[in-house]
Each structure stands twice: as structure tokens, then as C-alpha cells.
Amino acid sequence: MKALLVLTLTASLCLASLVPEHEKDPEYWRQQAQAALRDALRLQRLNTNVAKNLILFLGDGMGVSTVTAARILKGQLQHGQGEESQLEMDKFPYVALSKTYNTNAQVPDSAGTATAYLCGVKANEGTVGVSAGVTRDQCNTTRGREVTSILRWAKDDGKSVGIVTTTRVTHATPSAAYAHSANRDWHSDGEMPPDALQGGCRDIARQLVENIPDIEVILGGGRKYMFPKNTSDVEYPGEEKHRGTRLDRRDLVRAWRESKAPGKVARYVWHRRELLALNVSQVDFLLGLFEPGDMVYELERNNETDPSLSEMVAVAIRMLQKNPRGFFLLVEGGRIDHGHHEGKAKQALHEAVELDRAVGLAGRLTSPRDTLTLVTLLALDDEREKSRGGSGFSALRRDTRHPVPWATRAPQGTGHPGVTVPLLSPGPRAALLPGRPMATHRVAATAALVRVPPHPTTSLCDLGPLMTGARATLSLDLPIPVLLCLQGTLCHLVQVPPHPHGTTLPCHPDCHVTLSL
């Protein structure tokens, strides 16, 4: 008993010694509260500027508990205790919530949710860039049910566009920006069944090159899907698993180059040194594929050959900023999800910290006066399972001897919980987001480049009365929408709690909308 008392006292003294001196002073906490209040008061002066640029960050697998753990890790990497640290996304003034279900699944996957937040349309699990009328694996259900994305709308408006990911560039999230596929796993024709090929469906890598050939920046992994089957990889020539997979024998990197207009400079890079040495003022189109498959985890990354996510984001922004009409950039931290699925918490958290580093860098390279930045945390993994180290085992089992107790043992794999997830934002018109329970398919619309069914080729701001400063009463078959004109033919569409009948909301200075709800 005496020994236990001494041990307890010693532990208490050790813990007390870890508390920084300034945190022992009550005035420290009062000053922090006052600073937070001043920040909140500054938010009363709403940023109503026109958003010229849009950056959409996607933390795939980054739930609230992952955000918390990443915050602590970031602080500890900076030699603090961790809890007192602050992520870059913590500084964002506006927070919303987003629902994540697929039309045929309460618990979604990354493909269906990517279609929702990039195309504004709910879809079936495992499909990308198509409506819910498409059944997974059934190629013959695709035709006529393709849906376009915010990337396409931005390009049509004259903006530059880009994709940056730590996964394959043909993976679920990035592919929803440009492809239409009944299966998210059809990366190349080598992954497609014969009936799909015979039915005329194209693989995702081919669609990347053909559907929107003028995407200015594409950075990530996925080299092997671009080259003929058994073509040796430039970085891993002796490894069979990294060889090309294409059955049609096409070199899609060459096809990508040849698709560019005469006089335009298109650069393909596969090495970090090439990327960082790039003179963006002399390049019109950039394709960077740094791994045969997904990018390597940040903790295991080869610093000589593979760029970090933040390095890719920096180059992408500098490329896209050359366009005076603005740009749209999709950035995915996709390996947070992979780390959680594989039960690799350390890798997942370092991926999350790197994503946050990229968010901060993007903020320094742009201005909130004309750049709307959204950070959405979607396709979350089953953090409830991971928090207790697995789902347990039957008391009748004989093989219960493990080197690590089950209470702390990482499971072999995890799934998705289907929970509501956060959306964070600073920038023009971001004040419309706080506290709103938003359906996932509203995220793309909130990003300001929306086309509303059943008229996908007509922007709401194209309607005459809106552009002349008149007032129009609109009846839309959507859950309590609010229209917000941004610039030219671009609109915001956000879901908010019920407003009184006939509520009038100011849009663009020359555009007012009266809603009949």
C-alpha cells in the first residue's frame, strides 16, 4: 500500500511538472478567451467579395478524432505537449456539417461521395461521375447518365483547373472530377471485364486524357495505368508489380502530350527534382506521376524522388495562378484513409499533419479576399472500432494468445461509419456555412460553380431577371436551397434551415433572388 501511494504521488508530481509555467497562470487563459472573442467580432464584417479562386481540400479518412490526434501530433513534433497546438484548419472561421450517404448505401464509399461533392449528385456506391441510375459493374447502364463536375464547370468558365492527390490520379476522389465509370476500380483497361470493354466503356486513365484534355495540372501517383502491359517502370525497372497494365498497348502519357494545341508546352515529370526545378512561367500543362500506384506514405517517402503533398500543392497553385480569370484546384490527402484501413495509425496521422501543412501553405500563397478554400473531411473510417483496438473475439476461441493484448491490438482492417462530417472554410461568402447540416451533394454547389438538374447546361444566374437586378421567385425541387450569385454565370447553392416565405437574400451586387419556400 505504501509503495502504491509513493508511486501515485510520484506520477502526480511528474504530470504536474509537465504543465508549462504560463498555463498555471489564470491570466493566460483569460487572454486567450479575449483573443478568441476579438476574432469572433472581426467575423461580423463579412467577406462578400467575389470568389475568383476555389481550392477544395479533401481529407479522406480524416474524422474528428483523427483531427484531434493530428493536432496533438503536430504539437509534439514541434516539441510541445500537443494539446495546446493548433492546426491550420482550426483557424478557419466557418464550420458546417455534411451528410455522407450513398443512394444505395447508408455507409458510403469514397467514389459515391466524390460524385456527390464534385458533381452535386448523389450516386451509388462504387460508381464515379454518374447518376444513381448506374449500377456498379454494369457498363450498359452508363450511357446517358453521366454527370459533370465542378472542375468541368470551372474550365468552361475560362478558369484554370488542377488535381493533386497522394493516391493514384485515377482513384475514387480525383476520378469523379473527370471520369464517368460504373466501377471505381477500372483504372486501366487491364482492370476491366471483357463485357465492359465490349460494351464500349472506357477505363478511367483513358478518360483522364480524353474527357477534359486541357486540365492544366495533374499530380499524384498511378504511372502503371498509363503505359502498355509489361512496360518496365522508370523508377522500379526490375519489379513486375509496377509494370504497365494497359491491354490496348497505348502510351497515354504520349497521348496526353499530343492532345495539346500547337504552341502549348506540356511537361511530364516523375521525379521530385524535376517538379521543384520547373519554371511554371514556361509551362502550360503539367502531368506528374511519381509512383506506379498510390504515393508512398509521408513517413516512408523517398525525399529524393517523391514530392510531399505540400510541395505538389505549391507548384500547382503557382501554375494555376497565371490565369487572370482564376482557378479551381482539388487537393486530396487520400492516404489518411489507407492508413486507417490498414490499422496504421502512425502513418494515417502523419498523412493528416501533411495535409494540414498543405492547407497552411495554400493559405500563404493565396488571399482570402478572392480565394474560397474548403476543407472537407469525408469517407471517414470506423474510428469507433480503432479507438478500442478491434471488435474483440469469441470467448470460445482457443487461440487467444497474442503478444499484444486485444485492448491495444490494432485490427487487421477497418471500414466506414457513415457519420456526418465537418466542412471548414475561410474566404468569400464562407459565412453561409456555419452550423448548417448540409447534404454531401451540396458541397460542390457551395463551391460556386453549380448547375442544377434538370437543366445541367444552364446556370441559374443565366436567368434574365437575376442578371438585370430584378427579383425572381423560384420554386426548386431541392431541400431548402438558397441561391447566391457569384460572378458571371456562376452560382452558389447552399442548404440552410427554413426561412420565412419569400425571404430575399442579396447575391451579386447586380443580382437579387427572392425564394418562395
Which positions make up the binding site for Zn(2+)?
Answer: 60, 337, 341
Annotated binding site: 60, 171, 173, 332, 337, 341
Helix/strand/coil for 286: strand
Numbered residues of the known binding site for Mg(2+): 60, 171, 173, 332
CA distance 29 to 32: 5
What is the β-pairing status of strands 473-474 and 512-515?
parallel
Upper half-sphere CA count for residue 496 (Cβ side, 13 Å): 19
Amino acid at 240: E
Neighbouring residues of 500: CB distance < 8 A, sequence distance ≥ 6: none
Pairing label, strands 53-59, 160-168? unpaired
In this structure, are strands 94-99 and 421-425 parallel, antiparallel, or unpaired? antiparallel
Residues taking part in catalysis: 110
Q: CB atoms < 10 A from the CB of 223, how many? A: 27
Say whether 132 sits in a helix, a strand or coil: coil
Strands 266-269, 491-495: pairing kind: unpaired
The one-letter code for the residue type at 232 is S
Q: Which three cell numbers stand for residue 172?
A: 475514387
Give me the DSSP letters along 427-454: STTGGG-TT-EEEGGGHHHHTT----TT
Please name which of 343, 240, 248, 339 lies closest in space to residue 294, comparing C-alpha atoms.
339
Distances (CA, A) of 442 to 161, 175, 488: 20, 19, 20
Q: What grid cell was written down for 440?
A: 454531401
At 55, which amino acid appears? I
DSSP run (H or E) holding 289: strand 285-289
CA dihedral of residues 249, 147, 323, 511 (deg, nearest 10): 170
Question: Residues near 446 by Cβ (< 8 Å), separated by ≥ 6?
Answer: 374, 423, 432, 433, 438, 492, 493, 494
